[in-house]
Copies of this chain bind each other. A is one copy, B any other.
Amino acid sequence: MSEVRQKAELAKQTTSILNRLTTEQKNEALQIIATALIAGSDAIIAANEEDLIRGRENGTSTSLLDRLALNHERIKDIAEGLRQIVDLPDPVGDILETTDRPNGLHIVKKRVPLGVIGIVYEARPNVTVDAVGLCLKTGNAVVLRGGSSALSSNRKIVEIIHSALATSAIPSHAVQLIEDPNRSSVDEMLKLNGLLDVVIPRGGSALIQNVVQNATVPVIETGAGICHTYIDGSADLEMSAAIAINAKVQRPSVCNSIETLLVHETFARAHLNDLAQRFREAGVELRGCDQTRNFVDWAIPASDEDFATEYNDYILNIKVVHDLDEALAHIQRFGTKHSECIVTNNRLHAERFQQEVDAAAVYHNASTRFTDGYEFGYGAEIGISTQKLHARGPMGLPALTSSKYIIDGNGQIRQ
């Protein structure tokens, strides 16, 4: 039997035990893991060093090496993240509906764990711990397949987690790490119907698309964000500039930052040149439509390809639009249904925008950068769903649960 199937079966065998655990037992296990990770910091850092050496030899980029690198401070933060999960309410067992039928059947719809969750991710060892914490807190087993360039780090981290779990109520087999570095091990995971209840990809768009295109197991698609801010004709320059610049430059590498600014022509005539200067001062390269270039002659011409690109960088497209309809049509064409914003003083325009834009989060007069589980008050985040099934937008712990109907009767049969 392959490594992938064998480990998935071991994980699945733990689900009925996980199902019965109390919140206290799960929290205690997470605390034990947090303590063990800190105690094992030196060993983790030594394993991480192996990954970093291999990465440097293979010419891995500095930014990827930075994401891969662990030190005492980062391990402390990772352990702290686990303790924050402990503090969150446990959604498992929540009663979602109760119905008493005329025939006497008593029907209760209850939250239950999903079962076994597969996580496919890149070379970020912090995701290993984060995913384990979120899955175990919700009573799920987890099969991890991290990027092969973090394998030594992940192996050591999971070894420590296994030892920690051995002293807890959670079976060690509830956490499985796929070590096979070949892409075929991902492909095999994506087709484990009956063993995995869901696969969640966490990473860049190539990774996500591979999962979406090849999985027969249900997937929660996360991540890709071509987000827009539309500045309406009546918008105030200072608020517009603050929101748009924040949405672009506060952290350009993340999915809820914007790639394109849509500007109503009235606003453009009055303020676009000024606004463009502010972006220039913030270090942003501007690419504009023809009309934009009438106001900002130094902007590079923007193509349809630019409007369809998630730069994740200090680059912004600008398009001048004739009215709200044109802005809505542009977002419908190029948006990825993640986060969209209108800046306006016109209440009717705001309502229409929020009603008609098809996206997980639609803002009026606030930066798209707020689309985030922590900013929404969920206390944790498994990712930001850009699909419409199951969960949409920032996913808190309930997104890692399913439901089940518990029906009590006294001999009812169907007529």
* A365 neighbours in B (Cβ, 8 Å): 408-412
Check if A277 is an interface residue, CB within 8 A of chain B. no
In the bound complex, do residue B413 and residue A369 qualify as a contact, i.e. CB atoms below 8 Å apart? yes
A367-B412 Cα distance, complex, nearest whole Å:
6
User: Residue A15 at the B interface, CB < 8 A?
Assistant: yes
Q: Contact at B216–A404, with CB atoms within 8 Å?
A: no
Stretch at the interface among A48-56, A239-247, A309-317: A239-247
Q: Check if A163 is an interface residue, CB within 8 A of chain B.
A: no
A370 and B404 contact, CB distance less than 8 A: no
In the complex, chain B residues whose CB is within 8 Å of the CB of A375: 101, 105, 414
Main SS at interface, chain A: mixed
Contact A198 B409, beta carbon cutoff 8 Å:
no
Is A115 at the interface (CB under 8 A from chain B)? yes
Q: How far is the CB of A179 from chain B (nearest CB, A)?
A: 27
B residues less than 8 Å from A390 (CB atoms): 389-390
Q: Which residues of B contact A350 (CB under 8 A)?
A: 408
Write the A333-376 contact mask toward B (1 if CB under 8 angstroms, else 0).
Answer: 00000000000000000100011101111111111011100011
A403 CB–B CB distance under 8 Å:
yes
Q: Given the known A-B contacts A101-B375, A375-B414, are A393 and B367 also in contact in the complex, defined by CB atoms under 8 Å?
A: no
Taking the complex as formed, is A34 at the interface, i.e. its CB lies under 8 A from any CB of chain B? no
Q: Which residues of B contact A20 (CB under 8 A)?
A: 355-356
Taking CB atoms, residues of chain B closer than 8 Å to A216 are 212-213
What 17 new A-B contacts, CB under 8 Å, besides A107-B377, A363-B409, A364-B407? A15-B358, A16-B356, A105-B375, A112-B358, A114-B389, A115-B358, A193-B212, A218-B221, A250-B414, A360-B404, A362-B405, A364-B408, A365-B410, A367-B413, A369-B413, A370-B414, A376-B405
Binding site for B on A (CB under 8 A): 15-16, 19-20, 99, 101, 105, 107, 109, 112, 114-115, 193, 197-198, 212-213, 216, 218-221, 239, 242-243, 246-247, 250, 328, 332, 350, 354-356, 358-367, 369-371, 375-377, 387-390, 392-393, 402-414
